[in-house]
Amino acid sequence: MRRLTTDFSKGDERPYFLWDEDVAIDELRAKLGGNDENERLRLLGLRSYIAGLVRRLRRAAAPGN
């Protein structure tokens, strides 16, 4: 595992908030700027939030509600 850092100028080290994933800052930048929306949402921590929101919206829109 790469060393954790709060210094985002150290592209070969791992950002402190991704303590559970071995990804360097430079790799993170590339993934966030890439075309894979699912990967971008996962890294931003939004995929599970959006999935929960969609479930709530579907329940609210269900007939009889």
Does residue 15 contact residue 25 with C-beta atoms inside 8 Å? yes
- pLDDT value of position 28: 92
Segment 13-65, tens digit of pLDDT: 999 988 888 999 999 999 999 999 888 888 887 777 778 888 888 888 888 76
Instruction: Report the 10 Å Cβ neighbour count for 56.
Output: 10
Q: DSSP string spanning 1-31?
A: -PPEES-TT-TTSEEGGGTTS---HHHHHHH
Closest CA to 23 of 53, 39, 2, 5: 2
Phi, psi (rounded to 5 degrees) for 15: -65, 145
